[in-house]
Structure 1
Amino acid sequence: MTIIRQQSLFGIQELYEMEPTQRYESIIFAVDLDSIYLEINKQLRLGAPVELNYAAMIISMFVRIVERIPTIKDLIKRLNDDFVFKLNCGFLVSDNTPSEAAYFRVLTRLSDSKILEKEQEKVVLQAIAEGFITDDTVAIDATHFEARGQAPPKEEKPKSEPKKRGRKSKDEREQWLIEQAEKEANLPIFEKKIEAQLDVPLAELRAEVPRDPKWGVKKNSEGKNVFWYGYKGHLAVGTSSQYILQSLFSSGSLNDGKAAIPLLKGVDELPLPFLRYEVMDAGYDYEPFYEQVHRMGNLSVIAYNKKNESEPIGFDKNFAPTCFREHTYRYDSFDTKYETLKYTRPKEYSDCPLANEGICHKVYKVKITTDLRRYTAPARGSEAWKKLFKRRSAVERVNAYLKEFFQLNNVRYRTGKRAKVHFDIVTLIYNASKLAVDRINVLLNQQQAA
């Protein structure tokens, strides 16, 4: 019997086992350092000394993430103590080690610009151009991480005035509705209802995201509330390539669902010809998300959250039609041209005593646009739907990678502005590492073929 040997791919773990010089070069080569250098380079004669090696400082800040060095202070100590490490970071023999204040000035310049977001997009576009991102499914989820410093006490909601008993008069109700509409219109975009984001441009949504550290709450596996003070990272990940296609940094208090539409709009702007499905858990089960995905020409695979809703008569819990004896019709196919789900007779039809009564329809069709939330393609509960939903684990895997290998949960700054720089560097270096690994795999395959 012939033994077939399974080919193993070079992964991120193997990248970390390489020699430091090779590892740094492979990752940094995937990033356009010149653009970042020009963004922060000294243009004025006043202020910080111009003899600082800014290019090497940028590299060392990236290497700090790769080497899991906790703080800038520890990075400076490593540069002073390890001469080879200092050279690997791009410093010259004659260069003095920058001070902690110099590094913080660089961080301030980065926080005042959008260069890291632009470089993140460049890496993704480069990976698409080189054929490493060919995903047909994107998974969206959020992860939380704590802020540096002591958290303030949780604010108690002010007690509202007791409501007046009795029904309002017609004039009072009209006045109350006008006041509520004005109040809603004056709210920031992320405090309005989610559907208000549908027609807002992506650039405006990203600019309005709240970023200050706040108290957040999330239910754990036991159903209990877990509180933390800090931030959230929202990711849209290709389920096959596991690249971060879009990312969003926010306060910990922002509902996960309110970050989904900016992520979806960002994904829609990428040249992804094979993209077909968006996968999310039950926390994203809101009608505006289905609408946004439908506008993109894609299909939603989102777990259903009943929200105290009763099951419609004539349908099962997955909204598949049922026969007279409440047997479920079987999902058959989806017609993309007419956006129609097709169901066939239940498997119990052959033994049904009412089979010859003409009660049971042979085929049942329903357009998904009747209710985008209930009627998804593939149909809810079908094997095809379950298979697609399992791909959501890709975004959870990436979240774990960011925390374990890339220091996402090691934010050393007290302000959201600088914490966002940390988040942007982490996601940028993760994608750069993925691109480096894919390029190494291509070279290995070419060598094996030769």
Structure 2
Amino acid sequence: MYSIQQEELFSFDELMKMSAESKYSVVLEHAPLGRILHAVSKSSHLGRPESLNTRAMIYSLLIGKMEHIRFTKDLVSRLRSSSEFRRWCRFTDSDRVPSEAAYSRLVTKLDQCGVLRDVQDIVVDQAIAEGFLSGEVLAVDSSHIEAFDRNPKLDKSKTKPGAASPTEEESALLSETSCQPPEVAKPTKPKRAKRGRVPKAEAAAWREQVDAYEASLNLFEREVADMLPESYEALIADMPQFPSTGAKGDPRGTHRVKFWYGYKVNLLVDTASQYIVTGVTCSAHVSDQRPAIVLLKRLKARFPRLRVKHILADKGYDGEPVYKQIRAAGAFGLIPLVHRYKVPEGVDEHFRPLCRQGHPYRYDSYDAKRGTLKWTRPKECATCPLQNHGCQKVHKTKVADDARKYTAPGRGSAKFAELFKQRTAIERVFAYLKLYFEMGSSRKRKKRALVDLDLSCLTYNLCKLGLDRLNKYRRKTVQAA
């Protein structure tokens, strides 16, 4: 297993190959379920007493993720047919096996109280306190998730004439689980009949129309820069979290576009330990930069003691608002540039200063006190006849002048390239989530799909924490022997 922090006695793959009983004991032994039980339990002692083992039901949901059980009916069937599986899930002989409706009510409660996000933070706090998560270098990325809901925008003309559409056939069964949000009339953007400057006589009326249109937009329909002064709570309240159609280009450069109907999971991962620090799920049509702003605000608000130095991302996050939010979190953004305009004279494609012969200066160091990058003469200038005729020995640039162009370590340097290689850690985390924890596609509809995705991330972090504790214990045992 790829690990930068330390050599491991047991890898993540070896943990998943262990015997079921020992694996579940490692994962569930230290799971903080008290918070979940307090959130989903009855608030009053009046009424009908609870006859189900809620703790065991939560254990079964986590174990179901590790056992690749996608549907609730398969989980219930496994509990009824296997006494060994019931024992693994901590059900006693006197406990009644929950029905599908009982699990549905439990998932609904988990969605309404939002406790899984708090439990995820508790697990991350435990990893930080025990020294497993340093948080110096983080990576942010997103991955597509197929929805279990039917896409309402499918071409209806392909159906045979006279045949009932699938939506009509299933309307009686799926009326309560409809995934599409209620249709809301979108405000129309004001348009002028003529081009050019607005006349002074019409300027006031035109400005009033534009202001009314912009005021009707939510935070995720405005510019990305408008999200920076808003709080995390305001952003998460306006974030679209219904299934929609998303598009993604092929990273291999084949000019092919992949479309899917569902969601987009956005994660912030520690590259050294591969823990999921925080995450959020949004609709598939939302651009990558917008949930990145939400994740960075969550990082700053929830983990202020985490000393983050660098945040890595791909070209999809190359936007000035993302760099500003990264700098507000006290870190530097290491993101490849997308050249939307012609490179100005005097610098190369990495915005490194050039000498008179056209050779780029070399990155030397970063002065944290003054916030400046130091660039020294290139190697070719050692034998250049112009080194004493107007060619500077040292160039200094301020990061505050343009956080997108200037970052530490400097763009184009070997240190920048070496640090950026660690971004593959988040790709590995997504691979683990889809291979071992059924995150490739959700099998629940509407808001319950978000609970299903949160359970996958929580189970992964619990497995990672249990594995690190097991390795720590084994290492101490080996040293003592």
Alignment match, 2:401: 370
What is the identity, as a one-letter code, of the residue corresponding to 1:206?
Answer: I
**For the Cα contact (< 8 Å) 2:110–2:116, is it kept in 1?**
yes
Alignment match, 1:140: 140
Instruction: Give the stretch that moved more between structures: 392-401 or 323-332.
Output: 323-332
Q: 1:302 to 1:47 in 2, by over 3 A?
A: farther
Out of 325, 348, 361, the position equivalent to 1:292 is 325
What is the identity, as a one-letter code, of the residue corresponding to 1:17?
Answer: K
**For the Cα contact (< 8 Å) 1:154–1:215, is it kept in 2?**
no
| 1:113-152 correspondence runs (5 A) | 113-152=113-152
Question: Aligned to 2:280, what secondary structure does the other structure show?
Answer: strand
Q: Kindly state the Cα deviation for residue 224 of structure 1 after the two structures are TM-superposed.
A: 1.4
Q: 1:303 to 1:173 in 2, by over 3 A?
A: farther
- Deviation per CA, 1:362-386: give whole Å up to 9, x if none: 1111111111111111111111111
| 1:240-279 correspondence runs (5 A) | 240-268=272-300, 269-279=302-312
- Deviation per CA, 1:409-430: give whole Å up to 9, x if none: 2311120x11110111111111
Work out the CA distance in 2 between the residues paired with 1:123 and 1:158: 43
Structure 2 gaps, min length 5: 1-5, 156-185
**For the Cα contact (< 8 Å) 2:190–2:213, is it kept in 1?**
no
Out of 194, 197, 206, the position equivalent to 1:176 is 206
Alignment match, 1:104: 104
Out of 193, 204, 221, the position equivalent to 1:164 is 193
**For the Cα contact (< 8 Å) 2:68–2:438, is it kept in 1?**
yes
Q: Kindly state the Cα deviation for residue 20 of structure 1 after the two structures are TM-superposed.
A: 1.8
What is the root-mean-square deviation in Å for CA atoms of aligned residues? 2.2
Question: Aligned to 1:334, what secondary structure does the other structure show?
Answer: strand
Alignment match, 1:428: 458
Work out the CA distance in 2 between the residues paired with 1:374 and 1:185: 33
**For the Cα contact (< 8 Å) 2:187–2:213, is it kept in 1?**
no
| 1:157-236 correspondence runs (5 A) | 164-167=193-196, 168-220=198-250, 221=252, 222-236=254-268
| 1:242-391 correspondence runs (5 A) | 242-268=274-300, 269-307=302-340, 309-356=341-388, 358-391=389-422
Q: 1:139 to 1:72 in 2, by over 3 A?
A: same
**For the Cα contact (< 8 Å) 1:48–1:102, is it kept in 2?**
no
TM-score (norm 2): 0.87
Instruction: Give the stretch that moved more between structures: 44-53 or 164-173.
Output: 44-53
Question: Aligned to 1:283, what secondary structure does the other structure show?
Answer: helix
Question: Aligned to 1:381, what secondary structure does the other structure show?
Answer: coil
**For the Cα contact (< 8 Å) 2:8–2:471, is it kept in 1?**
no
Work out the CA distance in 1 between the residues paired with 2:194 and 2:297: 45
What is the identity, as a one-letter code, of the residue corresponding to 2:27?
Answer: I
Work out the CA distance in 1 between the residues paired with 2:453 and 2:373: 42
Work out the CA distance in 1 between the residues paired with 2:46 and 2:242: 31
Alignment match, 1:411: 442
Alignment match, 2:62: 62
Question: Aligned to 1:112, what secondary structure does the other structure show?
Answer: helix
Alignment match, 1:3: none
Instruction: Give the stretch that moved more between structures: 118-127 or 11-20.
Output: 11-20
Q: 1:189 to 1:104 in 2, by over 3 A?
A: same
Structure 1 gaps, min length 5: 1-5
Q: Kindly state the Cα deviation for residue 265 of structure 1 after the two structures are TM-superposed.
A: 1.6
Alignment match, 1:89: 89
Q: Kindly state the Cα deviation for residue 7 of structure 1 after the two structures are TM-superposed.
A: 5.8
What is the identity, as a one-letter code, of the residue corresponding to 1:113?
Answer: C
Out of 421, 437, 441, the position equivalent to 2:467 is 437
Work out the CA distance in 1 between the residues paired with 2:199 and 2:435: 60
Work out the CA distance in 2 between the residues paired with 1:158 and 1:204: 21
Work out the CA distance in 1 between the residues paired with 2:354 and 2:43: 71
Instruction: Give the stretch that moved more between structures: 429-438 or 189-198.
Output: 189-198
Work out the CA distance in 1 between the residues paired with 2:268 and 2:47: 40
Work out the CA distance in 2 between the residues paired with 1:197 and 1:213: 22
Work out the CA distance in 2 between the residues paired with 1:107 and 1:247: 19
**For the Cα contact (< 8 Å) 1:140–1:236, is it kept in 2?**
yes
Answering whether residue 40 of structure 2 is matched by residue 40 of structure 1, we say yes
Q: Kindly state the Cα deviation for residue 270 of structure 1 after the two structures are TM-superposed.
A: 1.1
- Deviation per CA, 1:137-172: give whole Å up to 9, x if none: 0000000111003212269x9999986344232343
Q: Kindly state the Cα deviation for residue 8 of structure 1 after the two structures are TM-superposed.
A: 4.7
- Deviation per CA, 1:120-153: give whole Å up to 9, x if none: 0000000000110013100000001110032122
Q: Kindly state the Cα deviation for residue 28 of structure 1 after the two structures are TM-superposed.
A: 1.6
What is the identity, as a one-letter code, of the residue corresponding to 2:286?
Answer: L
What is the identity, as a one-letter code, of the residue corresponding to 1:345?
Answer: R
- Deviation per CA, 1:315-350: give whole Å up to 9, x if none: 111101112222211111111111111111222212
Once the two structures are aligned, what percentage of the paired residues are identical? 39
Work out the CA distance in 2 between the residues paired with 1:295 and 1:97: 50
**For the Cα contact (< 8 Å) 1:70–1:410, is it kept in 2?**
no
- Deviation per CA, 1:42-68: give whole Å up to 9, x if none: 346788862111111111111100111
Question: Aligned to 2:75, what secondary structure does the other structure show?
Answer: helix
Query: Alignment length, in residue pairs?
Result: 441
Question: Aligned to 2:220, what secondary structure does the other structure show?
Answer: helix
Q: 1:273 to 1:118 in 2, by over 3 A?
A: closer
**For the Cα contact (< 8 Å) 1:30–1:123, is it kept in 2?**
no
Q: 1:244 to 1:379 in 2, by over 3 A?
A: same
